[in-house]
Structure 1
Amino acid sequence: MNVSLALIGFVGGVITGLSPCILPVLPVILLSGGAQGARDGGAGRGRRPYLVVAGLVLSFSVFTLVGTVALAALPVPQSVIRWAGLGALVLLGIGLIVPRVERWLEAPFAWIPQRQARAEDGGFVLGLVLGTVYVPCAGPVLAAIAVAGATGRIGADTLVLTGGFALGTGLSLLVFALAGRAVAERVSAFRRHQRAIRIASGVAVLGLAVALTFNLAAVVQRVIPDYTSALSRGIERLTEPAHSSAATAELATCVDDSLYTAPAGPRDCGPAPAFPQVTAWLNTPGGKPVDLSELRGRVVLVDFWTFDCINCRHVIPHLEDWYRTYHDQGLDVVSVHTPEYSFERDIDSVRAAAGRLGVNYPIAVDNDYASWSAWGVLAWPTVFLIDATGTVRYIATGEGGYDATKRVIETLLDQA
């Protein structure tokens, strides 16, 4: 069983490392992890791509598994790791451009003997910092890891899955880093302009920090389709869904089926659950909770999402369009924001992201994963359609299938 989990995690990691969500960090991997690690640049620097990627996957894995639980036990904001990572990126970027700043950053480590580590120019440290801001796409494999870490339910299976995922995503990123190094080693212009490469690497690091701070990366990601969705569907077929016992067997079966392919039309998936233990309600009068029983007679679309998930961003414009088109005909939309990473638990950040993305319908902030568990969700995003009687009739997991979802909305409205 553990071998199968490791293999599933590994393949899921490889696919994630090739997906659009790596685009923000790709210039840094190519330049600072690859081109700057060209072996002609000095003794030992050929190891730099390996060190950058190793640091990234290590810190990402650790913070994904224990970051949320650790922060919850401390009187600090949930976003502290991300902001600390962004600050460290700025310092590292400036250090690559201005040697004096780099020497200042290295000063605390001057006591370390045999400082050949300087040949790698802090590649491992850069990787560690990148891991705090690296936000890969959310498929069922990563969702299982993130939810287990956020809820503190970390068992042997979770560790095996995480290890496989880290190796897989690390392999994909290493390919990019080694490609950048190979180009730098073979093109004489790179060998002659090592200083220019360092400056370009610093600019790339600073650019990443700025893009993440001001959500510029999200704008680019939103317009790029997920070209790995077909591959992701393949790995989803291999996963063994792990539902919370809070979800009914009837609903869990429908969610399982939605991982493979959305049904062609409405089906009976049992009564829609409530939204238990909601941390806060946004976009409702006075923060009033939404009671599905009060919406009987109308069709309700429930969308589980998280604001830094590229796949979720791709779905939101379709939800907005359906809400505008069908609201007067009897369609309501309820958004359930269940965080994937600790910084997504901050309510003000959720509110700001909703404003940027145009999420104007009610939002249930599900920081305790109670609604996620009650509805048996397995991945971000997941869309549920509830008919006028309060029965779940359709579930779509992931991107795509928009025409089918639209047809079911129209069918349920006609029936209502």
Structure 2
Amino acid sequence: MTSILIADPIPLLNKGEQALLEGIVESLNIIFSKPDIMLLSNYPEKDARRSRIPVINRNPVLFKSIKKIMPRSAFLLEGALMAILARFGKQNFRRLFTRSELWQAFLNSDIIVVGHDSSVSYDAVIIGWLLNKPLVIFAGSIELFRNKLKESIAKVLLKKVNLITLREDDSYKALMDLGVIPGVKTQVTADAAFLLKPCSPERVKEITQQEDLPVHDRPKVGVTLTRQMCERSHQEINDVNERYKKAIAEKAIVLDEIIERYNVEIVFFPHCIGPGKNDDRLVARDVIQLMKRKDMVKPVVSDLGASELKGLIGQQCEVFIGERTHSVIAAMSQGIPSICITFPSDRRTHGIIGGMICQRDFIYNVERLNPIELLTLVDKLWAERPVIRKKLEGIIPLVKERALNSARLIQTIVSEKEKSDNGYRCPSSQH
């Protein structure tokens, strides 16, 4: 059985992150025979309720004094000490760490996933490298570094990774510029969330009743709005709270007009429910309060899983307007014409939605938010629905196949490791 540790914590209150995790797990289960997959978490109690794989507390527990003095460095310091003692220390030192579920997961892993989405856990890279474990970035994006020191450190550590799979071309170019390619095996595959399966029609029916969602024949427009995008609008306003107020007022106008023009109902789908203000339900509430046609609007309010949200979107929506990349992927991957609202420097979204799915015409710049311009784009989307659906139906199967390549490439790394296995494992687990 292949043991795979996802050491890059994935916060599952964010349903886009959950969609990524589900897609990663789905692809690994397709390619490997009953893999043993575990997830590290900074919030294990919250994430365990939302994960279908075992969740392990990422917070160090052996040396609590280190955590008190240097909370942000405790994981790296304890992990590095564990790795060094495990490989080179005496047996009694090794046993100290084998009592920890966290470090056992590292010691017994065959592959360590150190990156996903737009993040890389560089501390996990160091620990995995010290243990001589194969390290993988799974269909991620590489950030642009504004700090030269951070860029230099990242360049060194990325060269320790055995396999990097990416979800858009700009990240490949970024690695070329860093000099990581051609040294590290790298390939552009696709975002793992394309592989997320929607929940069953029966479950959709249950949720529809539970949420008291409209069941009329009238078409429905799915919407996901976020505080981040509201605060990115109207850059000429210095106060972010004032930006937010102006943005929600304009979006209320747009949604009221959409209802009138197309005789539709609006359903809000929250793709993140925390922590704090980072809750899409709060934005939906604020926009609805400003709308005239409240009778034609319904927000989803329950803590639904990514597959449940995808199932609802697929069953309910004629078109979709989203400010979270993975809410739009949930719609487009089911052939639903969509508009993705983001900002120009969001390379991830432009690369996936604009490049890989060829929907560049339907990416809207929130920094130039204007109700008339946005409604013009909605008009175009509505008019071209049949053409867009047909285009998506042709593209999405190809993208899903590319998404599976990340797991296929990991399989080649595992095969190479099995031929020359010199990574450290717990004594009780050694072959």
Shorter-chain TM-score tier: 0.3 to 0.5
Q: Which has the higher helix share?
A: 1
TM-score, length-scaled by structure 2:
0.31
TM-score (norm 1): 0.32
